[in-house]
Structure 1
Amino acid sequence: MRVDDDLDRVLIAVGPRLRAVRRARGVTLAELAAATGISESTLSRLESGRRRPNLELLLPLARAHGVPLDELVGAPPTGDPRVHLRPVRRHGMTFMALSRRPGGTQAFKMVIPGAPHDAVPEPKTHEGHEWLYVLNGRLRLVVGERDIVLAPGEVAEFDTRVPHWLGAADAAPVELLILFGPQGERVHLRTRT
């Protein structure tokens, strides 16, 4: 098989892959066009295979969908089993996204640096529901009028419309897993019968 044939095969498969990713996220062509600056007609031609994909088109699409470019072009796996997380720092905390699905429940690992003993909580509110699990360290959690400390292995869940704040309970950093979901979602427990 020639290299050109292999390249053509990869490029032909990009269109259906783009359509599948967009539909799986429940995004219309008009919404995607607004998010990327690529016209609806160009997006439609890309998805139908009537337009050859290039980096100028694929990079904004990968960014808008929150997926690696490799996923859009169907690049073969490298054989490297490592997970390559890209940490983000906000408000002095480090977040690592563990899920990539826009909408629905999002999973994060969070690291909060140790806090001075006189740290003053500044509770915030937003839409959603949050579950957290302390992996290491001690977490100070303020939810409404409650001010509690959670140890490794402890779990909490709360409506994020209630003023809340997370911080390290002492000078040691704290690591936790967080699931953040849409408003009204709650943990579903199943018991054995």
Structure 2
Amino acid sequence: MSTPAEGAGEPVGPALPDVAPRLRELRRRRGLTLEAAAPRAGLSPAHLSRLETGARQPSLPMLLALARTYGTTVSELLGEMPPEREPVIRGGRAEPAEADGWTYHRAGHPGRAMQALRVEVPYGTQRELVRVHPGEEWLYVLSGRLRLTLGDATHELDPGDSAHFDSLTPHRISAVSHGGAAFLFVHTLLQSPDPHPHHPHG
């Protein structure tokens, strides 16, 4: 049975040629078999095997889930260099990465607890992909119109709109403008403390 992550229909192709062997290397370095690693990332062993051979391309939610599983960052999975001392990231210096039609531009240094990307989404892609994972996500729409589904609620965001939510809420992102959309994306594995804790005895 396919999980939601596996039903996104990633195209076969060489858009991320370096990710496949890196996924395999990280899994083996952690001492995990396909059967042990795949469920942690919400995938079947067969699907993870296809990602490791390059037969399928990982989407952003898959990269997040695999990075969490292997205790690393999306930046490392994409093959970016270790953190630099220079805090400023110059536009155009790093080549963008592409997967499942989405284009990712580095907006933060790899190896940090907070992962920052600038993402370009074509119209309608990943519309069926729903993810749930620990952490928080923040996004800010730069251009186009973005549809964000959080649980049972659907929101349409225009340029200048932003969203900040717990990743444990089932969520999906898609572009509803025909020209696609671009947004800033920040993810952290940390969860904010509940400001209204629920005590069993009131």
Q: TM-score, normalised by structure 2?
A: 0.49
From the superposition, tell whether residues 158 and 139 of structure 1 become closer, same or farther in structure 2 (CA, over 3 Å).
same
Runs of 4+ in 1 over 2 A off after TM superposition: 63-69, 119-122
Aligned to 1:99: 108
Task: Tell me how far 1:68 sits from its aligned partner.
Answer: 6.5
The residue correspondences of 1:138-177 to structure 2 (distance < 5 A) are 138-177=145-184
From the superposition, tell whether residues 184 and 113 of structure 1 become closer, same or farther in structure 2 (CA, over 3 Å).
same
Aligned to 2:123: 114
More helix by share: 1
Aligned to 2:11: none
The residue correspondences of 1:38-53 to structure 2 (distance < 5 A) are none
Bigger Rg over Cα: 1
From the superposition, tell whether residues 170 and 96 of structure 1 become closer, same or farther in structure 2 (CA, over 3 Å).
same
Query: Structure 2: where are the runs of 5+ without partners?
Result: 1-28, 31-75, 194-202
**Is the contact between residue 145 and residue 159 of structure 2 (CA under 8 Å) also seen in structure 1?**
yes
The amino acid across from 2:108 in the alignment is S
From the superposition, tell whether residues 120 and 155 of structure 1 become closer, same or farther in structure 2 (CA, over 3 Å).
closer
Percent identity, aligned pairs only, is 28
The residue correspondences of 1:1-193 to structure 2 (distance < 5 A) are 66-67=80-81, 83-115=92-124, 120-185=127-192
**Is the contact between residue 66 and residue 102 of structure 1 (CA under 8 Å) also seen in structure 2?**
no
**Is the contact between residue 97 and residue 104 of structure 2 (CA under 8 Å) also seen in structure 1?**
yes
**Is the contact between residue 106 and residue 181 of structure 1 (CA under 8 Å) also seen in structure 2?**
yes
From the superposition, tell whether residues 86 and 158 of structure 1 become closer, same or farther in structure 2 (CA, over 3 Å).
same
Aligned to 1:190: none
Task: Tell me how far 1:180 sits from its aligned partner.
Answer: 0.8
Aligned to 1:42: none
Report the count of equivalent residues: 116
Aligned to 2:47: none
| RMSD of aligned Cα (Å) | 3.2
**Is the contact between residue 102 and residue 120 of structure 2 (CA under 8 Å) also seen in structure 1?**
yes
Task: Tell me how far 1:99 sits from its aligned partner.
Answer: 1.2
Distance in 2 (alpha carbons) for counterparts of 1:114 and 1:176: 13
